[in-house]
Amino acid sequence: MQDIEKFKKDIQQRQSSFELCESLSARAMYDFMPMDCSVAFGHVRFDDSNLEKKIAVRSNFNPLACWIPSSITNSSGRVSLEIKLPDNLTR
């Protein structure tokens, strides 16, 4: 009789550890799954870490990205320039 009780207890422990492993692996799978896939499986999680970020509003719409009519080269004959590109690169 003790053997049967021990067997039942052992089965219950294995079942509970299996369920724990199963839930952890499923959670890990959904943590690394792209949003559209996790929504398709019915697991929706929202990350609120981006709620505080503000959108950078574009303001530089200059049609000419850069105009430098002349520049001075270094001893190697190279020119180095720092320019700020406009927010719109195409018209």
Span 51-60, pLDDT tens digits: 677 777 888 8
> Count of domains in the chain?
1
From residue 16, alpha-carbon distances to 8, 27, 34, 67 in Å are 12, 17, 29, 71
**Is 70 exceeded by the pLDDT of residue 9?**
yes
63 occurs within a structural domain:
no
Tell me, yes or no, whether 55 lies in a domain: no
At residue 26, what is the residue type? A
Q: pTM score > 0.75 for this model?
A: no
Given phi > 0 = left and psi -120 to 50 = alpha, else beta, which region is 70?
beta
Q: 7 is in which domain, residue-wise? A: 2-50
- Residue 83 forms part of a structural domain: no
Token couple for 24: 């952890």
Measure the CA–CA gap between 43 and 38, rounded to whole angstroms. Answer: 5
17 in a structural domain: yes
Is the residue at 61 inside a domain?
no
- Cite the DSSP H helix spans in the chain: 2-31, 35-40
Q: What pLDDT was estimated at residue 75?
A: 93
Asked if residue 26 belongs to a domain, the reply is: yes
In a domain, 80, yes or no: no
Mean pLDDT for the stretch of residues 4-33 = 70
